[in-house]
Amino acid sequence: MNNSPRTRLSPGQFLFGAAYYPEQDRAEDLRDDPDRLAAAGVNLVRMAEFAWDRLEPSPGEFDFSFFDEQIRRLGERGIRTMLCTPTAAPPVWLARRHPEILRVDADGRTQVHGSRQHASHCSPVFRAASRAITGAMAAHYAGNPDVVGWQTDNEFHCHFSEDYCNAAREGFREFLTQKYRDIAALNEAWGTAFWAQTYAAFAEVDLPYPNRPSQENPGQRLDYVRYLSHAVIEFQREQVVLLRAANPRWWITHNGIFPNIDYRAFNADLDFMGVDIYPLLAPVVEPGSTVPEAYSARMLARTQSLSPRFIVPELQSGGGAQGGFMTDTPEPGQMRLFAWHCVAHGALGTLHFRWRTCRFGAEEYWEGVLDHDNLPRRRYEEFCREGAEFKAQAHIFHDTRPCRDVGVLYDTGLMEFAHRPITLGLPSPGAVADTIFTTLWRAGYNVGYVHPLADLANYRLLFLGAGAVVIPEVAAALTAWVQRGGTLVILARSGRKDERGQVVTATPPGILAPLAGCEIEEYSRIHLPRLAGLPSTSFTWGGEECAEHLWREILRPRGGRVVAQWRGGRFEGLPAVVQHQVGAGTCFYIGTYPDERLVTQWIALLAPMAGIRPLLPELPEGVEVTLRREGDRRLLFILNHRGKPSSIRGVPEGTDLLTGRKPEHGALTLEPYGVVVLSY
Ligand code: GAL
């Protein structure tokens, strides 16, 4: 995030509101909106991301009158507007005139008008249309004081991110030409000597097609994913440039987070990021999931690691349905809890999705604050309560931010992209990071995700799990951080690959070996249950019996000290964990993958060494705790995600901002879906 003046959103002001779709409603539905929104304390609505057909009904003929009127009516009540570039849903005339803008999937199926996100970010024609509508909107609204910021497009890569249209093919070749200059360099990077894949010219290169007929070239896949990310970044940048030129005071955001985008690069063009939060989607997105707040906590914490300040442009209000699924409907109090959940992780603002439930279309059962009949009921009352609370309290929490002491190293551009081409059936770095994060978050540690090239100074304990690709800058940053006193835990399969995705010639963990103080002598994928005749192995570390998980490595110390040995079969006595003192800090290398049980065992050993403790000594199931701070001011957010009261002990002395109450003898009881913000 840059620090330009426009990023300063009037200090003390929390952005509170809803996603607003007046173009989908009847005039009589809209009549009371400004009053109802203002009464709820709304100061911002988001508009127009799916309204291109209304804004440019025919090519080059712009008509902003409808939105002008809505923005004006709301502005009169002190409600500002975040507009969106409407490029997630291009109008039918564009697809009919220029069918070449349509995306094509890997099976060759051309997408059609009638849904959304059907146009290709790689298409020069679509890009020109995007610039035209963005430029026209920017020019029209540049002087409108009620328009304060923008969201680019809507959830890039939400439905699918791959693109096999001709423009993508041409764009990919151009991307590769710029990157490699010489086809020999591409052949080298992709290892085309394998299976006779050598190219004589960039024009011969095609997009990677999975399973046609067998495995694709992993280097080609990796560059393709990078290209997809590059294309969407360029697409967005063209919009950002036009918006900034029209009014440099506007702030610009986007609502993530989705696959195949290197958000570190993507965010460099934005003032801050956005993330859409639908906790009750958890069982849909992660089948079998029964802890919705774990899913949303991960989304929030990931976003916060990418963009220290961020907003939630869409936050669940009611049940959510599309086609064949519908989420549960939030219980009374749960919608407000979700809003505080976002704040607990650092959000600068929350906009509920959506203001009014639509009566038609693919999301006719995606419930907003108001029901289909436009009557305010309990969700509106809760919305009003949120608005009043944020109005009263935002000046206290607004300048604080999450400041974590445990970090899980994670990044899409380096780590996650490199996993996809060859997964070995193992969880991705993101999934591994999620396991570590979730386990520690549930135990009440002050944990977050952290980009390996971010400022690591505040962390005391870092985990690097399944980080196959480690570039020299990352190895150097981690080494410097350990030397200054940090405790780093490196897990199996780290440091094995270079930026091209090729396995390094050095013995693993490659460039991490000097830091890890060990090398890997032998490794094996572990299937559970074990195949007949193969022993299950485990190691005992600090009295904890730790069972291997998914992968086993036999270590050989190189400067480090063996602190745990494998047990079982021929592995008896061989090194499993190596501890290495580096400057004032310590690095541990652990030769297996993590699961919840292992992380729980390891943290019991590591936390005292790293000098960290959970934020609360005991955390009942379903209760979340996070910390935001600024200097000496600390705010402990304690949230009860269950529909029954929960008693907490060991709470620091302080005052609950929301009730003014002080916990007695360190104890407090949270009501069902209750929230305490303890200032101490
Ligand atoms: C988001 C999207 C919205 C709406 C919402 C509910 O992913 O940005 O436009 O579709 O989900 O499905």
Which residue reads 């390094």 in tokens?
Answer: 504
Which residue reads 């959103």 in tokens?
Answer: 9
pLDDT tens-place string over residues 567-606: 998 999 999 999 999 999 999 999 999 999 999 999 999 9
559 CB-near residues (< 8 Å, 6+ apart) = 514, 517, 518, 580
**Per-residue b or e along 211-242, where b marks 16 or more CB atoms closer than 10 Å to that residue's CB:** eeeeebbbbbbbbbbbbbbbbbbebbebbbeb
Rounded distance between C-alpha atoms, residue 366 and residue 377, angstroms: 16
Count Cβ atoms below 10 Å from residue 472 Cβ, excluding itself.
10
33 C-alpha to ligand 1 centroid (Å): 21
Residue nearest to atom 2 of ligand 1 (CA): 155
Count Cβ atoms below 10 Å from residue 673 Cβ, excluding itself.
23
Phi-psi region of 195 (alpha: psi -120 to 50; beta: other; left: phi over 0): left
286 CB-near residues (< 8 Å, 6+ apart) = 295
pLDDT tens-place string over residues 456-471: 999 999 999 988 899 9
Q: Which two tokens stand for residue 208?
A: 């990677």
- pLDDT at residue 521 is higher than 90: yes
Using DSSP's 3-state secondary structure scheme, residue 483 falls into helix
Does some domain include residue 340? yes
Verify whether ligand 1 is closer than 6 Å to residue 317 (CB atom).
no
322 C-alpha to ligand 1 centroid (Å): 9
Rounded distance between C-alpha atoms, residue 215 and residue 213, angstroms: 7
Q: Which of 377, 398, 419 is the last residue of a domain?
A: 398
Rounded distance between C-alpha atoms, residue 108 and residue 51, angstroms: 29
Torsion sign (Cα): 210, 211, 212, 217: positive
Which pLDDT value is given to residue 7?
44
Which pLDDT value is given to residue 10?
57
Verify whether ligand 1 is closer than 6 Å to residue 276 (CB atom).
yes
Verify whether ligand 1 is closer than 6 Å to residue 322 (CB atom).
yes
Phi-psi region of 577 (alpha: psi -120 to 50; beta: other; left: phi over 0): beta
pLDDT tens-place string over residues 342-388: 999 999 999 999 999 999 999 999 999 999 999 999 999 999 999 99
Q: Average per-residue pLDDT in the chain?
A: 95
- One domain for residues 526 and 590: yes
Does some domain include residue 516? yes
Torsion sign (Cα): 283, 410, 537, 525: positive
What is the number of the ligand 1 atom nearest to the C-alpha of 155? 8
Verify whether ligand 1 is closer than 6 Å to residue 363 (CB atom).
yes
Q: Please report, as a single letter, which amino acid is at residue 121.
A: H
12 C-alpha to ligand 1 centroid (Å): 29
Q: What's the mean pLDDT in 617-624?
A: 96
- One domain for residues 566 and 652: no
What is the number of the ligand 1 atom nearest to the C-alpha of 255? 8
pTM for the complete prediction? Answer: 0.96
What is the number of the ligand 1 atom nearest to the C-alpha of 366? 6
- pLDDT at residue 4 is higher than 70: no
Residue in 85, 161, 276 to alter for ligand 1 test, most ligand atoms within 8 A of Cβ: 276
Q: Which residue has the higher pLDDT, 3 or 558?
A: 558
Q: Which of 370, 398, 426 is the last residue of a domain?
A: 398
- Read off the DSSP letter of residue 370: B
- pLDDT at residue 3 is higher than 70: no
Does some domain include residue 175? no
**Per-residue b or e along 343-353, where b marks 16 or more CB atoms closer than 10 Å to that residue's CB:** bbbbbbbbbbb
Does some domain include residue 530? yes
Verify whether ligand 1 is closer than 6 Å to residue 154 (CB atom).
yes
Rounded distance between C-alpha atoms, residue 286 and residue 295, angstroms: 8
What is the number of the ligand 1 atom nearest to the C-alpha of 50? 9
**Per-residue b or e along 573-604, where b marks 16 or more CB atoms closer than 10 Å to that residue's CB:** ebbbbbbbebeebbbbbbbbbbbeebbebbbe
- One domain for residues 377 and 443: no
Q: Which of 610, 634, 653 is the last residue of a domain?
A: 610
- pLDDT at residue 269 is higher than 70: yes
Which pLDDT value is given to residue 13?
84
Does some domain include residue 287? yes
Residue in 151, 158, 277, 354 to alter for ligand 1 test, most ligand atoms within 8 A of Cβ: 158
Q: What's the mean pLDDT in 110-134?
A: 97
373 C-alpha to ligand 1 centroid (Å): 21
247: nearest Cα among 376, 143, 367: 143
89 CB-near residues (< 8 Å, 6+ apart) = 49, 50, 51, 52, 53, 116, 117, 154
354: nearest Cα among 384, 315, 400, 325: 315
137 C-alpha to ligand 1 centroid (Å): 23
512 C-alpha to ligand 1 centroid (Å): 41
Domain count, the chain: 3
Rounded distance between C-alpha atoms, residue 561 and residue 557, angstroms: 6
Q: By CB neighbour count within 10 A (0-12 exposed, 13-18 middle, 19+ buried), where does 529 fall?
A: exposed
436 C-alpha to ligand 1 centroid (Å): 28
Which residues sit opposite 50 in a β-bridge?
none
pLDDT tens-place string over residues 405-459: 999 999 999 899 999 899 999 999 999 999 999 999 999 999 999 999 999 999 9
CATH code: domain of residue 644: 2.60.40.1180
Q: What's the mean pLDDT in 184-206?
A: 98
Which pLDDT value is given to residue 677?
98
121 C-alpha to ligand 1 centroid (Å): 19
Does some domain include residue 301? yes
* pLDDT over 90, % of the chain: 94
pLDDT tens-place string over residues 631-675: 999 999 999 999 999 999 999 999 999 999 999 999 999 999 999
Q: Which residue has the higher pLDDT, 288 or 76?
A: 76
Rounded distance between C-alpha atoms, residue 548 and residue 258, angstroms: 31
253 CB-near residues (< 8 Å, 6+ apart) = 82, 149, 150, 151, 152, 270, 271, 272, 273, 274, 310, 311, 313
Confidence of residue 297 (pLDDT cuts 50, 70, 90): very high
Residue nearest to atom 10 of ligand 1 (CA): 363
Q: What's the mean pLDDT in 281-290?
A: 91
Q: Please report, as a single letter, which amino acid is at residue 355.
A: W
Residue in 46, 155, 365 to alter for ligand 1 test, most ligand atoms within 8 A of Cβ: 155
Domain ranges, residue 674: 623-679
Q: Which two tokens stand for residue 35?
A: 């009053």
Residue in 115, 116, 353, 355 to alter for ligand 1 test, most ligand atoms within 8 A of Cβ: 353
Confidence of residue 1 (pLDDT cuts 50, 70, 90): very low
Torsion sign (Cα): 123, 128, 132, 134: positive
Does some domain include residue 673? yes
Residue in 151, 351, 363, 369 to alter for ligand 1 test, most ligand atoms within 8 A of Cβ: 363
Angle at CA 609, nearest 5°, toward 639 and 592? 85
- One domain for residues 504 and 647: no
Verify whether ligand 1 is closer than 6 Å to residue 155 (CB atom).
yes
- One domain for residues 509 and 486: yes
293 C-alpha to ligand 1 centroid (Å): 19
Which residue reads 């609950």 in tokens?
Answer: 656
Residue in 255, 366, 367, 369 to alter for ligand 1 test, most ligand atoms within 8 A of Cβ: 366
pLDDT tens-place string over residues 473-509: 999 999 999 999 999 999 999 999 999 999 999 999 9
282: nearest Cα among 298, 263, 260: 298
- One domain for residues 517 and 569: yes
What is the number of the ligand 1 atom nearest to the C-alpha of 154? 8
323 C-alpha to ligand 1 centroid (Å): 13
Which pLDDT value is given to residue 316?
98
Which residues sit opposite 581 in a β-bridge?
586
State in Å, rounded, how far the first CA of the chain is from the last one.
29
CATH code: domain of residue 424: 3.40.50.880
320 C-alpha to ligand 1 centroid (Å): 9
* pLDDT over 70, % of the chain: 98
CA distances from 502 to 184, 206, 217, 359, 427 (A): 16, 20, 11, 52, 19
Verify whether ligand 1 is closer than 6 Å to residue 265 (CB atom).
no
308 C-alpha to ligand 1 centroid (Å): 23
334 C-alpha to ligand 1 centroid (Å): 19
What is the number of the ligand 1 atom nearest to the C-alpha of 363? 12
- One domain for residues 426 and 565: yes
4 C-alpha to ligand 1 centroid (Å): 30
- One domain for residues 380 and 415: no
- One domain for residues 637 and 526: no
372 C-alpha to ligand 1 centroid (Å): 17
Verify whether ligand 1 is closer than 6 Å to residue 320 (CB atom).
yes
pLDDT tens-place string over residues 8-60: 445 558 999 999 999 999 999 999 999 999 999 999 999 999 999 999 999 99
Rounded distance between C-alpha atoms, residue 393 and residue 10, angstroms: 15
CA distances from 266 to 117, 263, 276, 412, 676 (A): 19, 5, 17, 11, 35
Rounded distance between C-alpha atoms, residue 283 and residue 276, angstroms: 16
Residue in 49, 151, 154, 161 to alter for ligand 1 test, most ligand atoms within 8 A of Cβ: 154
- Residue 509: asked if its preceding bond is cis (omega within 30°), the reply is yes
Which pLDDT value is given to residue 414?
87
Verify whether ligand 1 is closer than 6 Å to residue 314 (CB atom).
yes
- Do 644 and 664 touch, CB atoms closer than 8 A? no
Rounded distance between C-alpha atoms, residue 51 and residue 63, angstroms: 11
679: nearest Cα among 622, 628, 645, 644: 628
Does some domain include residue 83? no
357 C-alpha to ligand 1 centroid (Å): 13
- One domain for residues 515 and 367: no
Rounded distance between C-alpha atoms, residue 227 and residue 250, angstroms: 29
- One domain for residues 523 and 582: yes
Which pLDDT value is given to residue 12?
59
What is the number of the ligand 1 atom nearest to the C-alpha of 88? 9
Rounded distance between C-alpha atoms, residue 627 and residue 618, angstroms: 15
Which residue reads 């402990």 in tokens?
Answer: 636
- One domain for residues 333 and 481: no
pLDDT tens-place string over residues 209-229: 998 999 999 999 999 999 999
Count Cβ atoms below 10 Å from residue 297 Cβ, excluding itself.
25
115 C-alpha to ligand 1 centroid (Å): 12
Verify whether ligand 1 is closer than 6 Å to residue 49 (CB atom).
no
